[in-house]
């Protein structure tokens, strides 16, 4: 990760360009040659920096996951003494970020048959992505005094993460409403003895 003032690395520029191409034209139109032209480097340089197209896909998803997890971290930082408020803030911020996320819209459209080559971005490493999100949330929750058995707490975290991801992919209410509902559930689970 770079500091906010540091210039992006070549790899970061390539990944960002891949995101732009995907959102504008679909994953099937992202080629190493086109990416090279967009960034102004040779095709071999693209391969040297990101590897295969599958590895590029993994880098794109990893960068996007990092953006979402950074939103979670900031929400927890805002509520260091109130876990339920931290959960509500994290849910809200993730759902707001998802609302206007062009890459996410491109991925969701892939699940509806418009760009089937994009499906591996969701399915190939979905278990790893889910586990990463759960790990980040669990690490932040560990900073609070929660009187739950570790197995029950892990189950509660998994349920909340999965429900948030479900709402990311197919929202049923506003981010504020969904976050309030999920924080209510979290409050009941966290209060359980």
- What CATH number is attached to the domain comprising 166? 1.10.357
- Which is more confidently placed, 174 or 115? 174
- Looking at the domain assignment, is residue 131 inside a domain? yes
pTM: 0.80
Q: How many CB atoms lie within 10 A of CB 14?
A: 24
Whether 151 is in a domain gets the answer yes
Angle (nearest 5°) at CA 23 between 17 and 27: 80
* Residue at 18 is within a domain: no
**Which pLDDT score, from 0 to 100, does residue 5 have?**
65
pLDDT of 174 = 96
d(CA 160, CA 183): 9
Domain interval for residue 99: 53-191
pLDDT in tens, 21-30: 988 887 888 9
Is the pLDDT confidence value at 73 over 70? yes
* Token pair for 63: 């960068």
Q: Is residue 3 part of a domain?
A: no
Residue 63 lies in a domain: yes
If one counts the domains in the chain, the total is 1
Lowest mean pLDDT among 35-44, 88-97, 113-122, 157-166: 113-122
Find all residues with CB under 8 Å of 94, minimum gap 6, and list them.
68, 71, 72, 164, 168
| 12 falls within a domain | no
Let me know if residue 164 belongs to a domain. yes
- Give the DSSP per-residue string, the chain: ---TTSPPPHHHHHHHHHHHHHHHH-GGG--HHHHHHHHTS-HHHHHHHH-SHHHHHHHHHHHHHHHHHHHHHHHHHH-TT-HHHHHHHHHHHHHHHHHT-HHHHHHHHHHTTS-GGGHHHHHTTHHHHHHHHHHHHHHHHTTS---S-HHHHHHHHHHHHHHHHHHHHS--S-HHHHHHHHHHHHHHHHH--
| Contact yes or no for 93/74 (Cβ under 8 A) | yes
45-60 confidence digits (pLDDT tens)? 999 999 998 889 888 8
Assess if residue 58 is contained within a domain: yes
């Amino acid at each position: 990760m770079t500091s906010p003032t540091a210039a992006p690395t070549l790899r970061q520029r390539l990944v960002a360009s891949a995101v732009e191409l995907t959102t504008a034209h679909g994953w099937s139109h992202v080629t190493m040659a086109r990416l090279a032209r967009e960034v102004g480097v040779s095709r071999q340089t693209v391969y040297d920096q990101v590897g295969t197209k599958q590895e590029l896909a993994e880098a794109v998803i990893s960068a996007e996951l990092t953006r979402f997890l950074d939103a979670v971290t900031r929400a927890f930082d805002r509520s260091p003494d109130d876990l339920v408020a931290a959960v509500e803030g994290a849910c809200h911020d993730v759902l707001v970020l998802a609302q206007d996320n062009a890459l996410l819209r491109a991925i969701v459209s892939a699940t509806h048959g418009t760009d089937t080559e994009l499906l591996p971005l969701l399915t190939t490493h979905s278990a790893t992505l889910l586990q990463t999100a759960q790990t980040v949330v669990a690490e932040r929750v560990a900073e609070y005094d929660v009187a739950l058995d570790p197995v029950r707490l892990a189950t509660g975290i998994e349920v909340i993460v999965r429900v948030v991801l479900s709402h990311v992919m197919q929202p049923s209410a506003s981010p504020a409403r969904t976050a309030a509902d999920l924080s209510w559930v979290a409050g009941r689970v966290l209060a359980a003895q």
